Amino acid sequence: MAKKNNITMWTSEKKLERIREWKQKGLTNEDIAERLKISPRTLYNWATESSELVEALATPKEVQEQMAADALLKRAVGYKRIVQVPVKLRTTSKNKAKYDKSTGESVPADKQVEETVQIVNIIEEVLPDTNALIFLLQNIDNVRWRKKDRELQQTLNEVKILLERRETFVPTLNTIAAAEESEETV
């Protein structure tokens, strides 16, 4: 007789450590339930009974960060996925006229259409998201890709240029104004 899984089997420190390792590798609670050969609902019920199990099932921060980074990178560069789509197929019979028992009439071959629905796998391409790419680049190399920093630096450079021009421009204006005053007094 097969031994039934129960909560006491999986709350020993050795078994909890195995669950922590699985979480460290990025497995979801559903994946862990499958490895434990129980339903996700049973795992949830066990977690309500054991605080140690709740702690073991908590996803470590590093794993969460890596999962988020992977998802961001995937969105930034684009990806392909397989999508199942129902397709309606229509086939016309190549036979001669057929007798329809329900109406009692003969149906011509070109009117004999059979429709079926078939699930077809198609490859869908998700295009790169430029906002995700910009965000990713800004966080990878903030010196090179930070828009605000670059704009701020550009504005500072423009202010410096204006101040330099002002320093040369104001004395020139003062000289012109003084010359005009001296001409008016003469």
Q: Kindly state the tokens that stand for 122.
A: 């198609």
Which of these ranges, 17-21, 68-72, 121-125, 150-154, has the smallest mean pLDDT? Answer: 150-154
The phi, psi pair for 80, rounded to 5°, reads -120, 145
**pTM, to two decimals:** 0.43
Alpha helices (H) along the chain: 13-24, 29-35, 40-49, 51-57, 61-77, 130-140, 142-145, 147-185
Could you count the other beta carbons within 10 Å of the beta carbon of residue 29?
A: 16
With cut-offs at 50, 70 and 90, classify the pLDDT of residue 11: confident
Distance CA 103, CA 164 (A): 97
pLDDT digits (tens, 9 = 90+) for 86-121: 998 887 666 666 666 777 777 665 556 778 899 999
Contact 47, 6 (CB under 8 A): no
